[in-house]
Amino acid sequence: MESSLVAIVAIGIASFVGLWIILYFVPVGLWFTALLSGVRISLIQLVFMRWRKVPPSVIVTAMINATKAGLSLTRDELEAHYLAGGRVKLVVNALISADKANIPLNFKAATAIDLAGRDVFEAVQMSVNPKVINTPPVAAVAKDGIQLIAKARVTVRANIRQLVGGAGEETILARVGEGVVSSIGSADSHKSVLENPDSISKVVLSKGLDSGTAFEILSIDIADIDVGKNIGAQLQMDQANADKNIAQAKAEERRAMAVANEQEMKAKAQEARAKVIEAEAEIPKAIADSFRSGNLGIMDYYKFQNIQADTRMRESIAEPQKQKRGTKGPDSSEK
């Protein structure tokens, strides 16, 4: 009795597993749903999708959505796009949205955009509902030296034809920033820019900044302009400081040269004094030689000694008078 019960349970489990495997590889429910939705696909093709590692639910659901929207898409096209790594659901939704919005978009172009890494459904939405891009603060200097910091809002619409190979938002922001800098830099005064900020928009729009990009620029609006630093005055101050430093360096160089020359003159003076002392040292020798040769007598020598003594006396008398003059000078000036 127990063995028969175990056998019945085993048969039931095996039947359930077998039925699950059959229903997994033969999605009868999915085939029946497609049949009721007007999508003609054979049950064998659904089984082959399992073997090709393509989820039948993704392909069948996409075909049902396309058929209900009035689009004609084949199973082979959707399956090939899935195997290529594409996003079938996004492509089908994009085709349906483009068809309802009267935007020319075929399956080949949509799959190319999707395989290029762009969101084709978002691109179609941007074609219907333009996107606003806020630029970061752009600093520029007018001709009068005043810095202006501007923020712009760029309204763009996706260009379906340029989505493959076209530049993205970063290029748009870079070009708009370049145009803002060029427009402010060409203004004679920052006041004129503050009075007419739309002049920046007109100049930037006239440059055709959306060429080669995946977007079409609809408008450029200046959201805010702030006055920054006085760059011209700051540059002049920096130049003046640089000139002052150069002048100080040159003056220091001239002072160093003067000090060097002074030291050199002092050295030459000391050298001259040494030569004088050396020459004076030769006088006693010359006198002695004169005595020996008879050219100088004793009376002549005494007269010479008297003259020297008289000279020293006069110098000693004159020296205190010079010192008195030197000390009285400042006192007399104070008086």
Radius of gyration for the chain, computed over Cα atoms and rounded to the nearest angstrom: 53
pTM of this prediction? 0.54
- For residue 54, give the DSSP letter: -
- Determine the pLDDT at residue 26: 58
pLDDT at 335 over 50: no
Q: What is the pLDDT of residues 15-70, one digit of tens each?
A: 655 555 555 555 667 777 777 777 777 777 777 777 788 888 888 888 888 888 88
Euclidean distance between CA atoms 285 and 283, whole angstroms: 5
What are the Cα distances from residue 42, in Å, to 20, 26, 30, 31, 52?
20, 11, 11, 7, 16
- Determine the pLDDT at residue 232: 72
- Determine the pLDDT at residue 332: 47
CB atoms within 10 A of CB 286: 11
- Determine the pLDDT at residue 274: 85
- Residue 40 main-chain phi, psi, to 5 deg: -90, 110
The token duo for 50 is: 């399992």
The token duo for 326 is: 């030197």
Q: Residues 188, 142: contact at Cβ < 8 Å?
A: yes
Query: Dihedral, CA atoms, 83, 85, 89, 92, nearest 10 degrees?
Result: -80
- For residue 161, give the DSSP letter: G
**Residue 11 pLDDT level (bands cut at 50, 70, 90):** low
Segment 162-170 shows an average pLDDT of 78
Euclidean distance between CA atoms 107 and 122, whole angstroms: 16
CB atoms within 10 A of CB 187: 22
- Determine the pLDDT at residue 141: 84
Give the start-end residues of each E strand in 68-145.
131-134, 138-141
- Determine the pLDDT at residue 58: 85
What are the Cα distances from residue 46, in Å, to 19, 32, 80?
17, 11, 15
Q: What is the pLDDT of residues 241-281, one digit of tens each?
A: 888 889 899 888 888 898 888 888 888 888 888 888 888 77
Q: Residues 177, 135: contact at Cβ < 8 Å?
A: yes
Q: What is the pLDDT of residues 176-224, one digit of tens each?
A: 888 888 888 888 887 887 878 777 778 777 777 777 787 888 888 887 8
CATH C-level class of 131-228: alpha beta
- Determine the pLDDT at residue 334: 43
Euclidean distance between CA atoms 30 and 26, whole angstroms: 9
Buried b / exposed e across 220-250, counting CB within 10 Å, b at 16+? bebeebeeeebbeeeeeeeeeeeeeeeeeee
Q: Residues 98, 105: contact at Cβ < 8 Å?
A: yes
Q: What is the pLDDT of residues 68-109, one digit of tens each?
A: 888 888 888 888 888 888 888 888 988 888 888 888 888 888
Segment 4-14 shows an average pLDDT of 63
pLDDT at 5 over 70: no
Q: What is the pLDDT of residues 270-311, one digit of tens each?
A: 888 888 888 877 777 777 777 777 777 777 777 777 887 888
Parallel/antiparallel/unpaired status of strands 131-134 and 138-141: unpaired
pLDDT at 324 over 80: no
pLDDT at 7 over 70: no
- For residue 332, give the DSSP letter: H
Segment 117-134 shows an average pLDDT of 84
pLDDT at 330 over 60: no
- Determine the pLDDT at residue 269: 86
SS (H, E, C) 171-222: HHHHHHHHHHHHHHHCCCCHHHHHHCCHHHHHHHHCCCCCCCECEEEEEEEE
Backbone φ/ψ region at 73: left (φ over 0), alpha (ψ -120 to 50), beta: beta
Q: For the chain, where do the domains classified as CATH 3.30.479.30 start and end? A: 131-228
